[in-house]
Structure formats: C-alpha cells, structure tokens
Homo-oligomer: A and B are copies of this chain.
Amino acid sequence: MLAEFDLIRRYFMSSQEAATASNGVTLGCGDDATLLLPPAGQQLAVSVDTSVVNVHFPHDAPAFAVGHRALAVALSDLAAMGATSRWCWMALTLDQREFADDEATHAWLTDYARGFHALNQQHATGLVGGDVTSGALSIGVTVMGEVPVGEALTRSGAQAGDVIAVTGALGGGAGGLALWQRGERDLSHPLLSRYLLPQPRLAAGVALRGLATAALDISDGLLADLGHLREASQVGAVLDLDALPLADGLEDALGRNAALQAALCGGDDYELLVTLSADNVSEAQQRLAALGLSLTVIGRCRRTLGVSATDKTDISGYVGWQHFSGEAP
C-alpha cells in the first residue's frame, strides 16, 4: 500500500508542478498548506463538493469518469457564479483493499488521475493540494476561481417578468443513468457521456455576466433547482414544457413521458439555469453560440409564487425521479 506522499507524488504531482509554474502559486503540494497570492480587484469564488461511490456514481464506473466527474460537479458551481476556475484541491478517500492487487490499484489510479487532469487542463485549473486517506471511495473537491467584484451571478436576482432559460439540453444525466442501469457501457453513447462525463459550463457563465439576473447549475433537477432560485429571488415561474430542450436520443431511449420527467426532475445535467431580461436574450444567445452552446427560453418569472405550466399540465405529477442510489430502479 502506497503512503499518502508517494501516492500524491506518483499520480498527481506532474500536473501540480506545471500548475505551480503557470498560476502564481507560491507553494503547492507537499507542505502543510498551499500558499496563494490572490489577485487584486477580484472576488474569490470557492465551492466544495463530495462525490461518494454508490451515491453519486456507480461502483463500477470507469475510473477516468470518476475523476472527471468529481471535478466537473465542483467546477459547475463556479460556472453558476460566472467565475473562472484557477485552483483545486482533491481529497481522495480510497480503500486499496477493494483492489485485487497493487497492479489493479495502479491501473485504477492512473485512469482516475487521467480523467481528473484532462478536465483540469481544459479549464486551466491547477491542482495545488490534497489529501489521500483510507475508507470507502469518496472524492472531495475544493475549487477556487475569480470573478470581478460585483459581477458574480447569484440565485437571488431574478425578477418577475424575466425569462427563464437553460444552456444545452436537459435529461441527459438521468437518461444516461437509466442506460447504465440497463447495462449499457459504451461511453461514446451521448447519454452515457452526458451522465458520466458532464461538462461544466464555465465559459458560458463568464459570457452571461452582465446579462443574467440569476443563475445556478442544474444538479438536483430543473424543478428542484428552479425552486432554489425562486426561493432565493422570491418569484414564481411558469414553464413551457414543450420548449424544454431534451438531450439527443432521450425520447428514443425512454419514451416521451419519462424523457420529460428526466428533464424536469432527473438532475445531474450540470447545465446552467438562468434568468434574464427578455431584451437580453438575443445577445446572450449570440455569446453562447460563439461557444458552440445553445440557450433556450423555457419560461418566465412571475410575481405569484409557485410554479406551473403554460399548458396547465399538473407539474406536481412530475416528481419522484430517483437519483442513483446503488440499486437498479
């Protein structure tokens, strides 16, 4: 069994050293704490996220996806603030006794680190510290980024009359999970990829600064996360269910009704849910189109609290989607 220091050095140091060189970190992994010189005139945005085996991802998920996903869900919180990402810390809890032998441990860690690093590099995020300990597989990720003072996107700025919009497509996370539970294992399948390799919308969050009145990322499901936004902003909402952008292949895989339920309640999509003045929709769509991303208007905020559908569908019927819990549904 590798000691913590050896393990960090072997699998995670090379990218850390590169990050140290490029990102103004005074002291990275290997001392008691990381030393950073924060940028002047910027706010720091910080988020922590824990991913637990059999709760947030299946025990037999590919290690590459486990590494990618643990980081992605944390970065997604920065995206939702309109912040950039600069640094991260990884607390890996790993039971090496779960592996048949050292070779299996090595293979898993190599693949895991590859997934974590690839996404880090994509977003120029430096892994600057961490912790490795023994126990049931779990990954705690702390991410830190920057946003100019006063420009962060919060949950509380939505106003009655604002339109409600989402980036990308919905339901892919839940659809991918359903496929995984049916035995599908080809990660090139778009729905599986949406579930196991979600893409944090960092560039979109930055592009929406100055336009979005409120934002959050869809992790618990559209209705649940819209509920958080409505509560923080003290507004109600009316949704056009026919306008919901469903993930490619979702209706084919699940049928119309379950597809709609996945989009409304499934979660794990990590798209941004934003509100903005109707006057700004076109500008926002253009900015996101330049990033290869759609922005779809799905409803409107109103003064009357609560949520309903434009076609009078009883939205309360779309509840009870079970997130992954280690059991097939």
Are B44 and A36 in contact (CB-based, < 8 A)?
yes
7 A-B pairs with CB atoms under 8 Å apart are A33-B46, A34-B45, A36-B44, A36-B46, A48-B131, A49-B131, A50-B93
Task: Assess whether B50 is in contact with A131, with CB atoms less than 8 Å apart.
Answer: yes
Q: A245 an interface residue at 8 Å Cβ cutoff?
A: no
CB neighbours of A5 from chain B (8 A): 228
Q: Is the interface of A mostly helix, strand, loop or mixed?
A: strand
Q: How many residues on A have C-beta within 8 angstroms of the other chain's C-beta atoms? A: 60
- A210 touches B (CB below 8 Å): no
A77 within 8 A of B: yes
The distance from the CB of A36 to the nearest CB of chain B, in whole angstroms, is: 5
Q: Is the CB of A216 within 8 A of B135?
A: no
Q: Let me know if A50 and B133 touch, CB within 8 A.
A: yes
Copies in the complex: 2
On whether the beta carbons of B52 and A93 are closer than 8 Å, the reply is yes
Query: Given A49-B131, A131-B48, A135-B136: A232 and B89 within 8 A (CB)?
Result: no
Q: What CA separation (Å) do A37 and B148 show in the bound complex? A: 10
Binary CB contact string for chain A from 122 to 149 against chain B (1 if under 8 A, 0 otherwise): 0000001111011110101011110101
Residues of chain A whose beta carbon lies under 8 Å from any beta carbon of chain B? 5, 26-27, 30-38, 40, 43-50, 52-56, 77-78, 80-81, 83, 89-91, 93, 128-131, 133-136, 138, 140, 142-145, 147, 149, 152, 154-156, 215-217, 228, 232
Which residue on chain B has the smallest CB distance to residue A49? B131
Are A48 and B80 neighbours in the complex by a CB distance under 8 Å?
no
**A48 & B81 in contact (Cβ 8 Å cutoff):** no
A232 touches B31 (CB 8 A): yes
A2 to B: closest C-beta gap in Å: 15
Q: Which of B35, B50, B78, B129 contacts A140 (CB 8 A)?
A: B50
Q: Which residues from chain B contact A36 at a C-beta distance below 8 Å?
A: 43-46
CB-nearest residue of chain B to A136: B136
Measured in the bound complex, the distance between the Cα atoms of B145 and A34 in whole Å is 10
